[in-house]
């Protein structure tokens, strides 16, 4: 699923996609930035989607911190 989102992001925001591909920005954070820019976090459903994405991001960040 994240690779599909990355493909859509590459179409819409090449600089953000390049940042992911070079390792400067984690993919989950870049996807959230892209979704926010496209208005996916607006409204009641958008707020719920944002909360879900933040929950996932926190779990990914915790795993990344352990690996360091």
**Total tally of structural domains belonging to the chain:** 1
pLDDT < 70 stretches in the chain:
1-2, 5-6, 9, 64-68
Q: Under a CB-based contact definition with an 8 Å cutoff, are residues 28 and 60 in contact?
A: yes
| Residue 10 in tokens | 């590459």
Nearest in space to 2 (alpha carbons), one of 58, 41, 57: 57
- Structural domain that includes position 38: 2-67
Separation CA 47–CA 40 (nearest Å): 9
Cβ distance 57 to 29 under 8 Å? yes
């Amino acid at each position: 699923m994240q690779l599909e989102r990355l493909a859509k992001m590459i179409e819409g925001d090449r600089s953000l996609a390049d940042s992911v591909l070079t390792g400067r920005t984690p993919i989950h954070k870049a996807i959230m930035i892209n979704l926010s820019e496209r208005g996916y976090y607006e409204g009641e459903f958008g707020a719920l989607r944002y909360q879900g994405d933040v929950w996932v991001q926190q779990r990914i960040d915790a795993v990344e911190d352990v690996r360091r």
